[in-house]
Structure 1
Amino acid sequence: MSGDAAPVIIFIASFYAFGFVLVYALARAWEQALSTRRRREFVHVRSSAQVRSRRMGAQPNRSNRT
């Protein structure tokens, strides 16, 4: 009987391993998508702040340029 159960046990174990790998890959992709979105939002906020400071008459620091 144990000879008949071995292929089933191997199949179930590989099925669970595939499921864990799939969940891990989806979690990593989701994390990377969210971190890219946060960076884009930060760049947008930063560029908006620069636009506002220029509207208010602030001059960029150009002392390092020759």
Structure 2
Amino acid sequence: MCVQFGDLLFYFETTSLAVGIFSLWHLNSDDAKLRKVGLIWFIVNLLNIFVLVPLIIFVLFFGISF
């Protein structure tokens, strides 16, 4: 199965949007456990945006093969 890096970039951006909505929904909750889950998902979202997406863009532009 061959997956193009552009498809991966689209996948990570889509999941980033979904996780952002999910985390905001939980961060505004009255329950402390749900706020904790929202915070964890928010951190995962930030890692997705600032680590995985730039890595994919770097690989796209410089053609590094794994």
TM range (shorter): 0.3 to 0.5
Larger radius of gyration: 1
Q: TM-score, normalised by structure 1?
A: 0.39
Greater length-normalized contact order (CA 8 Å, ≥ 6 residues apart):
2
